[in-house]
Amino acid sequence: SQTIHQWPATLVQPVGSPLSLECTVEGTSNPNLYWYRQAAGRGLQLLFYSVGIGQISSEVPQNLSASRPQDRQFILSSKKLLLSDSGFYLCAWSVGQKGGWEKLFFGSGTQLSVL
Amino acid sequence: AQKITQTQPGMFVQEKEAVTLDCTYDTSDPSYGLFWYKQPSSGEMIFLIYQGSYDQQNATEGRYSLNFQKARKSANLVISASQLGDSAMYFCAMREGSGGFKTIFGAGTRLFVKA
């Protein structure tokens, strides 16, 4: 069965420090991968998605970047964190379903606090 | 532009009763999928149910059903026989056929189930 691993679960970082959040998927090949951010009490905002190794699409211009060095690995990074980068970050994956719509499978999330 | 609106920030329901969570959407794409996700306090997003724009019948998954009214652009979630474990945030989401891999989410509704 497919599983998604996301770490760390919580992270407290000072302003101006770098960031690296990692997500890996097991049990499937060539998944579509996504990074979402959820502000407190709000809905999810799509940050990046990837349909293959090295292929990254950015939805919102910001202080963050994403990379996909391997088929089932997705990394969210920042060189210098801002206070506004605080939030709950969720990694997700999907695969094309013939005759249906792709549903998203989410990781357990990372709560990032930038102080 | 695609948009999801959830107008109920919070809802209360008595255990064992049914509850309807509202969702309206806006899109000019004739082909789209509508989804509902549940987010318990643990933070992980859990897929519940989906409806395609061309599906003739309302989707059902166990105690969950989606009341799809295409002309009114609404996709309300109905939870029957509420349980204490249903207390969570619920998000309505949409993906357009022409929108690539982008799934957008509403702001969510927090459901409280009372014993």
Predicted local confidence at residue B81, as pLDDT: 96
Indicate the pairing of strand B32-39 with strand B46-52.
antiparallel
Please indicate whether, in this complex, the C-beta atoms of A102 and B95 are within 8 angstroms of each other.
Answer: yes
> What are residue B38's DSSP bridge partners?
B46, B90
Q: How does pLDDT run across A20-76, given as a tens digit for each residue?
A: 999 999 998 889 999 999 987 778 999 999 989 999 999 886 789 999 999 999 999
**Measured between CA atoms, how close is A105 to chain B, in angstroms?**
7
Q: How does pLDDT run across A69-110, given as a tens digit for each residue?
A: 999 999 999 999 999 999 999 999 998 765 567 889 999 999
Predicted local confidence at residue A100, as pLDDT: 61
Predicted local confidence at residue A95, as pLDDT: 82
Give chain A's mean pLDDT.
Answer: 91
* A94 CB-near residues (< 8 Å, 6+ apart): A31, A32, A34, A102, A103, A104, A105, B101
- Judge whether A71 and A57 are in contact, CB under 8 Å: no
Please indicate whether, in this complex, the C-beta atoms of B103 and A51 are within 8 angstroms of each other.
Answer: no
- Judge whether B86 and B12 are in contact, CB under 8 Å: no
Share of chain B above pLDDT 90, in %: 85
